[in-house]
Amino acid sequence: MGDKRQRARVQGSWAQPRVRPTGPKPKCPSGAAAHVSQSASAPAPAPGSTSWKGGPRSYEFQQPAKPIREVPVEKVIEKSGVYDISPGPSGVSRLRLLTDFLPQEDADWMFSTLLAELPWSQKTNYRQGDAYDEPRLTCWYGELPYTYSNSTLQANSQWHPVLSTLRASIESHSGRSFNSLLCNLYRDGHDSIAWHSDNEPSLGPRPVIASLSLGDTRIFSLRKQPPPEEVGDYTYVERVRIPLSHGTLLIMEGCTQDDWQHQVAKEYHDRGPRINLTFRTIFPEL
């Protein structure tokens, strides 16, 4: 899939402008596979020679059978603001980014306190019955348990005082209330979270997720869900990339969880630890 997307991008953006042949449409001598053919009358070049002897070089241009499809250019969001990343299909998907939500000194001491004092552990998830360890550490706060990827984080109402303070300030900034928190610790650049949407039934329709980042910067990527006719092929979908730095608050709302997926991919250069706090609301009746 990655390879397909790369080939499509090379064709779409880097290829030379398409030359339209004038005159009658050339016929493909040996079926649709031959896009550029060399004249059959031209003999092979002499060994070591750099030019063809014995006749002019001639090429026949064959239009590709299907029009070349452009891969949309990935959008980058780096500045604070409100971004409507799509108007549908389910409704508006909206991101609010605040890069300096926490002053640097507060972000610094909160990061080191949470890194040292939260009960971090590695969760085991299940895919088609097979167990795998999440490539990051987590802990959960909330009156209710939280289930995703076929395993459950147990209820935990012992909020760390730093987390209670942060919850109150994010609630007063956003005008939303949150009863739960999933904390993620990416120990280094090899830790990650795979493509997913926060769309568990217990989060209710159109959940609002407030995500606070502390520590090293990591790239938060979003990709749009493909329309049904693409049968799960993400090659041509819209993409957004947001570097989430120390003290940045990102709020996802509207239809973001219906129409988009997000991830934090592994990186192959050195990254220090990063904590991400995702405040959510869990509905007991769902």
Binding positions for ligand AKG, rule: CB under 6 A: 182, 184, 193, 198, 211, 220, 244, 262, 264, 276, 278
Please choose, from the candidates 163, 273, 256, the residue with its C-alpha nearest in 3D space to the C-alpha of residue 218.
273
- CA distances 264 to 186, 247, 286, Å, are 10, 17, 28
Given the complex with ligand AKG, which of 198 and 259 has the nearer CB atom?
198
Q: Residue 58 or 121: which CB sits closer to ligand AKG?
A: 121
Report the residue number, 153 or 244, with the smaller CB distance to ligand AKG.
244
Q: How far is the CB of 283 from ligand AKG (least distance, A)?
A: 17
| In the complex, least distance from residue 78 CB atom to ligand AKG, rounded to whole angstroms | 15
Return the number of the residue (11 or 156) whose C-beta is nearest ligand AKG. 156
Phi/psi at 169 (nearest 5 deg)? -75, -30
CB of 195 to ligand AKG, least distance (A): 10
71 versus 214: smaller Cβ distance to ligand AKG: 214
What ranges make up the beta strands (E) of the chain? Answer: 36-38, 59-61, 75-76, 81-86, 93-98, 124-127, 130-133, 137-142, 146-148, 151-153, 180-186, 193-196, 209-215, 218-224, 239-244, 248-254, 260-264, 274-280
Q: What are phi and psi of 128, to 5 degrees?
A: 45, 45
CB of residue 119 to ligand AKG, shortest distance in Å? 17
Q: Helix/strand/coil (H, E, C) string of 165-204?
A: HHHHHHHHHHCCCCCEEEEEEECCCCCCEEEECCCCHHHC
Select from 278, 284, 282, 285 the least CA-distant residue to 139.
278
Q: Output 112 or 217, the one with its CB closest to ligand AKG.
A: 217
Tell me which residue has its CB nearest to ligand AKG: 276
Ramachandran angles phi, psi of 260, nearest 5°: -135, 155
Least Å distance, CB 193 to ligand AKG, is: 5
CB of 154 to ligand AKG, least distance (A): 17
